[in-house]
Amino acid sequence: MAKYMLLIYGDAEQWDSMTPEQAQAHEAAHVAFRDAAGDQVVGGHELVSSPVATSLRADPAGELLMTDGPFLETKEALGGYYLVEADDLDVVVKLASLLPEVRAGHSGVEIRPVVEHG
Amino acid sequence: MSEAVVAAVALAHRREWAQVLATTAQATGDLDLAEECAQDAFAQALKVWPETGIPERPGAWLTQVARNQARDELRRRSAFRRRMPLLVTGDAAPGADAGLDDDRLRLIFTCCHPALAREAQAALTLRLVCGLSTSEVARAFLVPPATMAARLTRAKKKIAAARIPYRAPAPDQLGARVGVVLEVVQLIFTTGHTAPAGARLIRHDLLDRALDLGRLLHLLMPTDAEVSAQLALMLLIDSRSATRVDSDGRMLLLAEQDRTRWNTERINEGVALLMQALRHQSPSRYALQAAIAAVHAESPSWEATDWPAIVALYDRLLALWPSPVVELNRAAAIGMRDGPCAGLDALAPLLANPALATYPYLSAARADFLRQLHDWPQAATAYEEAIALTGNDSERRFLTERLTEVRQASA
């Protein structure tokens, strides 16, 4: 068994402009995903859209720099994630294919294996 | 060392490498270690066989040596932390019922996993399934050996770290996964058929590897129609390889080739496989391409070619697999069926296609029709375009000769 992070990227404007019916269908698809995945889902959340993000780094002198907005200014931002546990990549791909963001056109899912320390 | 032993080891390398590596990888769950030990086993054979004689079953001998060495190595390493996670070799292999329970298939499907980039799939397949050295793989794709070594390492690291499973795909995935494998084999074949750059038109080393792969896949999946069709396509195209360049290395067109020197054994084998493929299901892209190659292969001359049949096959191919290159070939066939004027008309809409903007064969096809119509200035311009766009020396020489002809005609 290994853990994988499913990072859901997409255009926040399009997510925010969903009609109530679309939002309902979207939510239902996530419920279906969680039902199908069962206890393979270890964690996961939707994130408040990226303009609300705060980014921290430091200048060469070590002075803290705080910026308003996401770390990377891209059209597609991180919108949410799941942490899942699975035997191999094929299992994860099959599971992640159930996420509505995969087929929404403006969004997609990045699969990243988690490094297990110890 | 006797020549017989060297030859036997070389033959075993070509025939058994995939089996030796694949079985060792399955037994140890470590692709890197399996690769090292398979290599060592062949080196051992060169040392041992001159004394013991060539074993009756070289493959079994090599596999045993590689596997034993891998086990020793694993025992030695067990005290240390492993460098890389193990391959996922769980025996929940869904392929067993479908007759896909073969180590070599596991290896092929792992190398051609869709989570790997196409160039990584092709490089891994040549290195791990065909047993080419890293520098040979680098030469195949015209990159420096260090670049290829890094590419192979990255791909193997991904297989282990992302846990790409070492097994044949589940039945519901099989069609799509076989499709990826065949695209990789086709890429290796095409790279060998017309080298994208360099002095030689044909790279026989790559053609032979692609044919070996096609035969292996057909051996392991004898009822897969797409596999049969792709092998048929390669055999039918390869049947002409002896006549594609003259003794000076100049490229010869289909119309100019000596058909009596085409390899009839390959043609017969290809046609038989194609028939087999066509019995199973509606024709795949490879079956239609093979059928086009078969019409050429069985035609006594260029003039006697059944052009209506070729155009009809291109029509079906275009419906199934829309591609600007297929459109171009269809337009060229229309020119052969209905004359150079019709050919130029058929090519006209393609001139605006950005996908063909740097494709030398579009300019070359136009040039040829213009030449037939005695439109010398325009033909010359089109040949100049084609010459500027091709990267292959043999093609460039052919086009330059044609350019000289039309310039002389217009003078």
Residue B48 inside a domain? The answer is yes
**B98: closest CA of chain A, how far (Å):** 18
Q: Do A2 and B165 touch (CB under 8 A)?
A: no
DSSP B128: I
Residues 6+ apart with CB under 8 A from B247: none
d(CA B141, CA B346): 34
Is A87–B90 a contact, with Cβ atoms under 8 angstroms apart?
A: yes
Query: Within a domain: residue B64?
Result: yes
Residue B31's CATH number: 1.10.1740
Residue B263 lies in a domain: no
How far apart CA B164 and CA B325 sit, in angstroms, is 34
Q: Tell me, yes or no, if A7 comes closer than 8 A to chain B by beta carbon.
A: no
Which residues are registered as beta bridge partners of A68?
A54
Reported as a pLDDT band with limits 50, 70 and 90, residue B82 is low
Does any CB of chain A come closer than 8 Å to the CB of residue B333?
no
Question: What are B104's strand-pairing partners?
Answer: none
Domain count, chain B: 1
What pLDDT score was predicted for residue A65?
93
pLDDT of residue B1: 59
- What is the C-alpha to C-alpha distance for residues B212 and B98, in angstroms, rounded to an integer? 23
Nearest CA in chain A to B159: A89
- Quick: pLDDT tens for A20-45: 999 999 999 999 999 999 999 999 99
Instruction: Determine how many CB atoms are found less than 10 A away from the CB of residue B263.
Output: 18
- Poorest-pLDDT segment among A11-15, B90-94, B297-301: B90-94
Find chain A residues with C-beta within 8 A of B170's C-beta.
Answer: 90
Q: Which letter does DSSP use for residue B257 in this model?
A: S
Domains of chain A: 2-49+76-113 (3.30.70.1060)
Query: Tell me: the pLDDT tens digits for B192-228?
Result: 887 666 667 788 889 999 999 999 999 999 999 999 9
Cα–Cα distances in angstroms (integers) from residue B200 to residues B68, B204, B263, B393, in the given order: 43, 10, 21, 7
Residue B366, domain member (yes or no): no
- Owning domain of residue B67: 3-80
In a domain, B261, yes or no: no
Instruction: Examine residue B66 and state whether it is found in any structural domain, yes or no.
Output: yes
- How many beta-carbon pairs below 8 A join chains A and B? 26
Round to whole Å and give the CA distance between B102 and B19: 9
Give chain A's count of helices (H) and strands (E): 3, 6
Q: Is the minimum CB–CB distance between A87 and chain B shorter than 8 Å?
A: yes
Residue with tokens 């086990």: B71
User: Above 70 in pLDDT, residue B399?
Assistant: yes
Residue B76 lies in a domain: yes
pLDDT band at B80 (very low <50, low <70, confident <90, very high): low
Closest Cα in chain A, distance from residue B30 (Å): 15
Say how far apart CA B110 and CA B167 lie, in whole Å.
7
pLDDT at B96: 47
Q: In Å, how far from its chain's centre is CA B136?
A: 15
- By Cβ distance, the residue of B164, B170, B173 closest to A89 is B164
Burial B52-89 (b: 16+ CB within 10 A, else e): eebbeebbebbbbbbbebbeebeeeeeeeeeeebebbb
**B375 phi/psi in degrees, rounded to 5:** -90, 75
How far is residue A82's CA from residue A47's CA, in Å, rounded to a whole number? Answer: 11
Q: Where are the alpha helices (DSSP H) in B145-262?
A: 145-161, 171-193, 204-220, 225-238
B interface mutation test: which of A88, A109, A114 has the most B CBs within 10 A?
A88
The reply to whether B149 falls in a domain is no
- DSSP state for residue A59 in the 8-state scheme: -
pLDDT score recorded for residue B95: 46
